[in-house]
Structure 1
């Protein structure tokens, strides 16, 4: 099971940290062990480290309306989204 690191910017860091959305939507596509991070130099830049059972499934999910809705709810700035896969 690969570990994925994702980083992006958000509109409101405290809202993003408190949001239950990422657990709700990612659980449905086999993502587990989600850990959150905040850049101490630029607090609206945040990140996740998570274990992904099926990378193709996650990639397909990220193109859906439910994924877009979850990002909007969490205040994610989509154009800043970067996925890195453990190698």
Structure 2
């Protein structure tokens, strides 16, 4: 099961950290061990690290309106999103 990191900018770090949306969108995909990170020097830069059982399913989900709505709710600046997959 690969570990995936997604990092991006957010409008409001506290809102992003408190949001239930990560669990709501990633849980049904079987994604586990979700951990959040914040750049202490620039709190608008954040990351999520997670274990992903089906990378193809995650990448398809990233294209859906539901994922876009969750990211919008969380204040994610989508154009800054970078996804890294454990090599």
3-state SS of paired residue (2:51): strand
CA distance in 1, matches of 2:55, 2:23: 17
Q: How many residue pairs get matched?
A: 87
CA distance in 2, matches of 1:62, 1:6: 11
- The 3-state SS of whatever aligns with 1:28 is helix
TM-score, with normalisation over the residues of structure 1? Answer: 0.98
Q: Structure 1, residues 41-61: CA drift from partner, whole Å, max 9, x if none?
A: 111000011000000000000
Secondary structure, counterpart of 2:29 in structure 1: coil
Partner residue in 2 for 1:49: 49
User: 2:79 is matched with which residue?
Assistant: 79
2:9 corresponding residue in structure 1: 9
| Runs of 4 or more consecutive aligned structure 1 residues displaced over 2 Å after TM superposition | none
Q: Which runs of 5+ in 1 are unaligned?
A: none
Give the deviation of 1:21 after TM superposition.
0.5
TM-score using structure 2 length: 0.98
Moved more, 67-76 or 22-31: 22-31
- RMSD between superposed Cα atoms in Å: 0.5
The equivalent residue for 1:64 is 64
Query: Which segments of 5 or more consecutive residues in structure 2 lack a partner in the other structure?
Result: none
Residue 34 of structure 1 corresponds to which residue in structure 2? Answer: 34
The Cα of 1:76 is off from its aligned counterpart by 0.2
